[in-house]
Amino acid sequence: MREEEYILKIEHAKERLKKAEDLKELEEIKREYLGKNSFLAQILRSLGKMPPEDRVYWGKLANKWKDELEALWEEAEKRIKINIIQKRLKEEEIDITLPGRRKSIGKLHPLTQVVEDIISVFKEMGFQVVYGPELETDYYNFTALNIPQDHPVRESHDSFYVDKEYLLRTQTSPVQIRVMEKRKPPLRIVAPGKCYRRDFPDATHSPMFFQIEGLAVDYDVSFAELKGVLTIFAHRLFGKDRKVYFIPSYFPFTEPSAEMYVECGICKGEGCKACGNSGVLEILGCGMVHPQVFREVGIDPEIYTGFAFGMGLDRIAMQIYGIEDIRLFYENDLRFLTQF
Ligand SMILES: [Zn+2]
């Protein structure tokens, strides 16, 4: 082969090296021009058989071409590898201008919030939180609370009886009995939880509702302390300027008994639709623990006295949030729940 043809081939190889786009192509060029069977390798292999002057001439030339191609090949390899990295970086780039995906955060149910607010007020006054079963025996729900066998509230059409003995508790008061059976005074407890009655659901009735029960038993617990504790509670929950009233009432498990009313927050005692024009709202029932209840759990009523109270949380929550229909609390409608 003539020298000009070799030069053309070398020039062609150089062009290819400059334009090469990927490593595979680069390998092919290497095999073709620098490999064992390339014309350069053949020239170098045949040098020994050449006359001395040709050997010097072709040796120099072939090595020069080889060096040039190798240098260009390395350059091309470097360029291609950098391109690969840059391409990858671009593909994997994180677009920080994209808005993040928001996770919706859950909230406490409005009733749970009210329970927690009320509990925290009583905790500060030294009360401990306890829980009792929702499925109760007839004994804990009625008998131990001094509710006689023939009392109308025991009627099966008022309660959800599971069988002859068990029913869904109609009040949180059985928790008092369970605590007094197990522990000795002094006792200061609050017991929040669900209660059940066979009420037809309407704006103010729900067959499932929430109560909080409270109990304090010690040597010198008085009605004055009951009034003091509950007045502090009402002021903490509704505000210090709300007037609080205690009106005599009757419950089988307390003697004397009272109902606590607070001034209506909407009309400030003037009378409005929300309070039935009375200017006040009934918040809870309370009283001094009946001696018969103490005897039932083995606490001597000659030594100890105590007070108890129970309140419907739904009614309080409705007051606080200005809700007119109790059923909204139990329908789990997110449009309602996300407002709190
Ligand atoms: Zn009112």
pLDDT along the chain (340 residues), means of 10: 83 90 90 89 88 88 90 92 92 83 85 92 93 90 81 73 88 87 90 89 84 92 95 91 92 92 84 81 92 90 94 86 84 85
Residue position matching structure tokens 């003539």: 2
Quote the ligand 1 centre to 315 CA distance (angstroms): 14
User: What's the whole-model pTM score?
Assistant: 0.66
What local confidence, expressed as pLDDT, does residue 286 receive? 95
What local confidence, expressed as pLDDT, does residue 1 receive? 56
Quote the ligand 1 centre to 144 CA distance (angstroms): 37
Quote the ligand 1 centre to 280 CA distance (angstroms): 6
Quote the ligand 1 centre to 265 CA distance (angstroms): 6
Quote the ligand 1 centre to 243 CA distance (angstroms): 13
Quote the ligand 1 centre to 278 CA distance (angstroms): 7
Which CATH superfamily is 110-337 part of? Bira Bifunctional Protein; Domain 2 (3.30.930.10)
Quote the ligand 1 centre to 236 CA distance (angstroms): 20
Quote the ligand 1 centre to 279 CA distance (angstroms): 5
Quote the ligand 1 centre to 284 CA distance (angstroms): 17
Quote the ligand 1 centre to 270 CA distance (angstroms): 6
Extract the runs of DSSP E, i.e. beta strands, from the chain: 128-129, 135-137, 166-168, 187-196, 208-218, 244-251, 254-263, 280-289, 305-312
Quote the ligand 1 centre to 269 CA distance (angstroms): 6
What local confidence, expressed as pLDDT, does residue 156 receive? 60
Quote the ligand 1 centre to 324 CA distance (angstroms): 13
What local confidence, expressed as pLDDT, does residue 247 receive? 94
What local confidence, expressed as pLDDT, does residue 122 receive? 94
Quote the ligand 1 centre to 322 CA distance (angstroms): 12
Phi, psi of 305 (to 5 degrees): -130, 165
Q: Which residues contact 142 (CB under 8 A, 6 or more apart)?
A: 151, 153, 154
Quote the ligand 1 centre to 297 CA distance (angstroms): 41
What local confidence, expressed as pLDDT, does residue 123 receive? 95
Structure tokens at 191: 């017991």
Instruction: Tell me the CA distances in angstroms from 183 to 51, 177, 294, 297, one per residue in order.
Output: 119, 10, 12, 10
Quote the ligand 1 centre to 263 CA distance (angstroms): 8
Q: What angle do CA 321, 325, 328 make, to 5 degrees?
A: 80
